[in-house]
Structure 1
Amino acid sequence: MRKNILFALILSALSIGGCKKYTDITPTGSLIVETAKDYYELVSFPNRGYLISNFQYLVDDMWMKESNFIGLTPNIDRVHFSFNENIDRVSLIQSSNFYERAYLYINRWNTIISSVDASKGEDNVKALAKAEAKAFRAFDHFLLVNVYAKAFNPATAATDGGICIMDKYDLEAQPTKSTVAQVYDFIQKDIDEAIPFLQAQPADPYHPSLAFAWALKAKVHLFKREIAQAKDACEKSLSYNNQIFDLVKYTTTQGGPSVTPIIAPNNPEVLSYQYIQGYNETNFGYSWLISPELKALFGTNDARFNMFFNTTSASFLDIGSNAAYYNVAYTRFFYPTVGLKTTEVYLMQAECLARQNDLPGAMAVVNRLREKRILSGVVNLPVPASRKETMNIIINERRKEMVLGFNRFLDLKRLNTEPEYAKTIVRTYPLVNKTVPQQTYTLLPTSRLYVIPFPLNVLKKNPNLTLNTDEKLPF
């Protein structure tokens, strides 16, 4: 058993990190994973990454430099940026770093869950290791089902094709696909089984805390439109960590990133540290342009934009497009893009209150966040006259607070299942180049593009896996 565990973890390391040594993913000084403490320490995995390059442009918040689009052969980025439903995406997605990493992480969690009970050590440490692994296994299944399947719709989730649930370690498995409802049931079961054994203050920030688990539970309930349960889970999460990093004070009195660096894992509002590229991902912010629409949404007095984004480099963006790019090195400030954080919990809480028609309560939560983000002018917004207006404010705050990662993609998918909040995205492009005709691209709320095809190499390996869209297999 120990030899198999060792081989699996080495394989995971080589697949994810290329040249990482085996000792990078095992406890310091340990050659064999054999004790409960060893398994517990394996949960801490500081450099988990979820590369979103196969679907990052299917949103209204991201942008592409014109020289990376005009006159070039369509690849998956350009197909998605132009919202083109007429091109076969299956052949374009030969493989997926996102898909492969998520399942490699799941195999890691499954190894811990299935093997820790037979290890040497105290029962409470075994229970903690197993619980933490279940929390992260739930997180990874949640990401996978929300990328490769339709958003949860109470009316159709029981029949909508989902993903393969992996509940045991098996590198050679060819599992069958579960429905969206079944995957969500599995996720909720993992979270509920984990919570009683988790800690408020884990050994390090790469272990899941109670604040993280309750936040994830809130997110799952919210995506299922189980509003009362989501609201309760938000309150539980905030009871363990309710910190909001004060960007206003940081800007005005602490000198900002150039004077007072805030690096991972020292951002107090972060509940889990994962990345869209790696620990140093925001060092390459010039490759992650935000759209003119999102830039305009920030306005001129928002510390989230003024501190972190640049609009003036002709090398990195098209001057005159009104796009912008992230411009602060990861060694100066860690800006969370993927993992859960307290401010998302606050905004989920606000959304729950709005959906329950407590508009003053919802806006009180929104304004608590804005007080830490808005530098001048109108900070505290008045209570709107309708739930729809209140929800629009909350949705826009989510766009500004949870920028650069995959959260806007997930939000568009879930909100598009509700006619009241569904959005048709219209993109006019190019904005600067005058040598090619300007075109208007449209992404409907019902577009099949929102369901990303499984990667071709996985489809070939597992005949039990079928597409969740009406696209055709090329073999």
Structure 2
Amino acid sequence: MNLNIYKRLLPMLILALMLGSCKKYLGIEPKGVQLLKTVKDFDLWLNDREITGNLPEPINLLADNIDLANVELPLDAVNERVFTWQPQFAEDQFAGEAVIWKDFYREIYYYNTLINNIDEATDGTETQKKSLKAEALLGRAFCYLYLVNFYGKVFNPGSASSDLAVPFVTSHDLNDPTPPRRSVKEIYEHIINDITAAIPDLPASNIKNRFRGSIAAGYGVLARTYQFMGDYVKAAENAQKALTAGSSTIMDFTKMTNSSQIGDLTVRPDVFYARVSVAYNQEKIPTIAFLKTFDVNDLRLKFYYNNLGNYTYPTRGLVKYRSSGLQGGTATISWGPTVAEMELILAESAARGNDLPLALDHLDVLRKKRFPASAYQKYSSNNRDQVLQKIMQERSFEFPYNGMRWIDMRRMDAEGKMQEVSRLDKNNNVIATLSPGSQRYTLQIPVQVTLFNPGWPQNP
């Protein structure tokens, strides 16, 4: 059976929906030849919500800081299966969706469409074409950085060349054959090569629309890439380049009375590369254990979490997190790189290199903007492990539900620093556990995909 590339990657109904959507937007010829004609067409293509705001929300359900308060057996809903780390999130290979996987490959399809066709655009300058291609290369790299961290093992220099990850797809032709799964090392090399190739041609600034690419955005994604690889020297180098090329401004919560003053994500100065999930306004339920790790004076707690009461949190599911802030609409946290993330990368890199005073200074740059001056005290420790633990905790406060906590958990687990995580049903009975070193830290390839690619080795 000779099936095309995207039918193998985005099976059945998913493919049909994707193609239907494209037809409504610009149209796709039966063999996958795009009807994009002008530079303006391609420029508008990069503003489409399918690219800027379609990251999969279920990613957050894997993390240890989120709760579903009304789960009961048997697990019927996809979200409940993700929440309890089931090997497959939809067991029915004919009716279910390839959750998480499909969203990233659909987005990659859009980027590949631009990369492979922009040179043939009928108007615009070569500089404009190169700039748009650079933005698409950055976007594709951003998608693969998630994919390799969900379907491949944590980067290990000793095994990365043999650990399998995902196919690296560069075609937009619906009839091309599907490439095989590539190694973790190969996918990271592709990510780095795409970003490195993009940076010289990226716009100098995206101040008018943070959802578009820029030089600072490129360095920001590259810094995150090296951090996830464990190359903390290069992570710090690129984090600093992002701060130099872009903004170094962290939104100062101490000068605000509530989240409505944070500003719109599209133009916010602390954001290098704005990205959001398909359901970013959806309320989340934080675990009580996570809530109790906050200092009660932390303004992030007061800006994003409701029903705080007296901070004892006796009732599971009562407190809700709103990603757009309690006042709604403006304070959305970006899934893409920000100034705060770069400061925390610099802090972690310094701590990994045993420069604890520098690590604490970078940590302080962020934290002093998150507490009223009257209640703030700079964190101090001369213990490397304690400082690293504090930095990871600060990452969980600053980016609680933007897709990164699960990747941080994987990184900590690879270092033997993750404790067992349990899931409770609505009656507080343990129904699932994620043990240290669990194989569930690497997701299985969805059965809806392996159906069309039976020769692929499956993750345990």
Q: TM-score range by the shorter chain?
A: 0.7 to 0.9
SS in 2 for 1:352: helix
When residues 412 and 463 of structure 1 are mapped into structure 2, their CA distance, relative to the original with a 3 A threshold, is same
Contact 1:174–1:463, Cα closer than 8 Å, also in 2: no
- Alignment partner, residue 95 of structure 1: 97
- Alignment of 1:153 with 2:153, yes or no, is no
Contact 1:36–1:116, Cα closer than 8 Å, also in 2: yes
The whole-number CA distance in structure 2 between the counterparts of 1:101 and 1:80 is 15
- Alignment partner, residue 228 of structure 2: 223
Deviation per residue, 1:35-75 (Å, 9 max, x gap) = 3343244223344211232x43332211111xx21344355
Give TM-score scaled by structure 1 length.
Answer: 0.82
- Alignment partner, residue 263 of structure 1: 264
**How far off is 1:365 after superposition?**
0.9
**How far off is 1:16 after superposition?**
8.7
Contact 1:261–1:332, Cα closer than 8 Å, also in 2: no
- Alignment partner, residue 7 of structure 1: none
The whole-number CA distance in structure 2 between the counterparts of 1:37 and 1:208 is 16
- Alignment of 1:304 with 2:310, yes or no, is no
Counterpart residue identity of residue 238, structure 1: L
- Alignment of 1:191 with 2:195, yes or no, is yes
Give TM-score scaled by structure 2 length.
Answer: 0.84
- Alignment partner, residue 234 of structure 1: 239
- Alignment partner, residue 3 of structure 1: none
- Alignment partner, residue 348 of structure 1: 345
Find 2:253's aligned residue among 244, 247, 251: 247
Contact 1:175–1:464, Cα closer than 8 Å, also in 2: no
Contact 1:177–1:464, Cα closer than 8 Å, also in 2: no
Find 2:173's aligned residue among 170, 175, 179: 170
Counterpart residue identity of residue 117, structure 1: D
Gaps of 5+ in 1: 1-10, 26-30, 471-475
- Alignment of 1:274 with 2:290, yes or no, is no
Gaps of 5+ in 2: 1-13, 29-33
- Alignment partner, residue 406 of structure 2: 409
Contact 1:337–1:404, Cα closer than 8 Å, also in 2: no
Contact 2:252–2:370, Cα closer than 8 Å, also in 1: yes
- Alignment of 1:458 with 2:455, yes or no, is no
Counterpart residue identity of residue 294, structure 1: F
When residues 261 and 161 of structure 1 are mapped into structure 2, their CA distance, relative to the original with a 3 A threshold, is closer
**How far off is 1:181 after superposition?**
0.5
The whole-number CA distance in structure 1 between the counterparts of 2:145 and 2:137 is 12
- Alignment partner, residue 201 of structure 1: 205
- Alignment partner, residue 8 of structure 2: none
Find 1:129's aligned residue among 101, 115, 132: 132
Contact 2:239–2:343, Cα closer than 8 Å, also in 1: yes
**How far off is 1:157 after superposition?**
0.8
The whole-number CA distance in structure 2 between the counterparts of 1:250 and 1:268 is 16
Contact 2:228–2:411, Cα closer than 8 Å, also in 1: yes
- For the aligned residues, what is the CA RMSD? 3.0
**How far off is 1:20 after superposition?**
9.1
Counterpart residue identity of residue 297, structure 1: T
Alignment of 1:315-334 (within 5 A): 320-321=315-316, 324-327=319-322, 328=325, 331-334=328-331
The whole-number CA distance in structure 1 between the counterparts of 2:125 and 2:288 is 55
- Alignment of 1:36 with 2:39, yes or no, is yes
- Alignment partner, residue 360 of structure 2: 363
- Alignment of 1:448 with 2:456, yes or no, is no
SS in 2 for 1:56: helix
**How far off is 1:429 after superposition?**
3.6
The whole-number CA distance in structure 1 between the counterparts of 2:273 and 2:84 is 33
Deviation per residue, 1:245-272 (Å, 9 max, x gap) = 1112112xxx542xx4723313221222
- Alignment partner, residue 119 of structure 2: 117
The whole-number CA distance in structure 1 between the counterparts of 2:16 and 2:200 is 30
Counterpart residue identity of residue 212, structure 1: A
Find 1:424's aligned residue among 419, 433, 443: 419
SS in 1 for 2:60: coil
When residues 261 and 196 of structure 1 are mapped into structure 2, their CA distance, relative to the original with a 3 A threshold, is closer
- Alignment partner, residue 290 of structure 2: 294
Counterpart residue identity of residue 423, structure 1: M
SS in 2 for 1:162: strand
Worse overlay, 320-329 or 222-231: 320-329
Find 2:218's aligned residue among 197, 213, 216: 213
When residues 78 and 97 of structure 1 are mapped into structure 2, their CA distance, relative to the original with a 3 A threshold, is closer
The whole-number CA distance in structure 2 between the counterparts of 1:118 and 1:43 is 17
When residues 162 and 330 of structure 1 are mapped into structure 2, their CA distance, relative to the original with a 3 A threshold, is farther
SS in 2 for 1:275: coil
The whole-number CA distance in structure 1 between the counterparts of 2:290 and 2:72 is 22
SS in 1 for 2:269: coil
When residues 16 and 358 of structure 1 are mapped into structure 2, their CA distance, relative to the original with a 3 A threshold, is farther
The whole-number CA distance in structure 1 between the counterparts of 2:339 and 2:92 is 37
- Alignment partner, residue 8 of structure 1: none
Find 1:106's aligned residue among 80, 97, 108: 108
Contact 1:158–1:180, Cα closer than 8 Å, also in 2: yes
Counterpart residue identity of residue 465, structure 1: W
> How many equivalent pairs are there?
429
**How far off is 1:96 after superposition?**
2.8
**How far off is 1:112 after superposition?**
1.4
Find 1:392's aligned residue among 382, 389, 393: 389
The whole-number CA distance in structure 1 between the counterparts of 2:413 and 2:226 is 17
Contact 1:295–1:322, Cα closer than 8 Å, also in 2: no
Contact 1:276–1:337, Cα closer than 8 Å, also in 2: no
Counterpart residue identity of residue 204, structure 2: A
**How far off is 1:143 after superposition?**
1.0
Identity of aligned residues (%): 25
Counterpart residue identity of residue 321, structure 2: Y
